[in-house]
Amino acid sequence: MSPSQHAARPPGPNHRPSSARQNTVNTPLTPKSARPVVENDEYAAFTRRILRSYARRVATGDIEALTRMTALADDVETAIRNAVIGLREHGYSWADIGTRLGVTRQAAQQRWGGRS
């Protein structure tokens, strides 16, 4: 039977419209739907612009700001740790996090999971 003949066949006696079928999806085993992202791309771009501008300012002779700039690296690491902890609390796996960061789940857990 060709596909065109199959499509033209009337429904069988056990056929029910999809709206009448019972939902058999096992919800705990079904992946969560994507969560909405709220301005994160724009916010990250803005933050990068600020850091580049600060680096240019330091590079033009503000040597005292160099110490403050290196302290920002610690602040960024703390922010990343807090973000990872928040993502884990919202149900994201280490594999999800590692994939987004370009590392294995084990590497992500070793770096950010020890103190969470």
Q: Which residue has the higher pLDDT, 27 or 83?
A: 83
Residue 89 in any domain: the answer is: yes
**What is the extent of the structural domain holding 80?**
63-116
Total domains, the chain: 1
pLDDT, residue 114, reads 72
| Ramachandran region, residue 112 (left: φ > 0; alpha: ψ -120 to 50; beta: rest) | alpha
pLDDT in tens, 87-108: 999 999 999 999 999 999 999 9
pLDDT, residue 50, reads 93
pLDDT, residue 116, reads 43
In the chain, % of residues over pLDDT 90: 49
pLDDT in tens, 34-79: 666 667 888 889 999 999 999 999 999 989 899 999 999 899 999 9
Q: What is the CA radius of gyration of the chain?
A: 26
| Percent helix / strand / coil, the chain, rounded to 5 | 65, 0, 35
Residue 1 in any domain: the answer is: no
Residue 69 in any domain: the answer is: yes
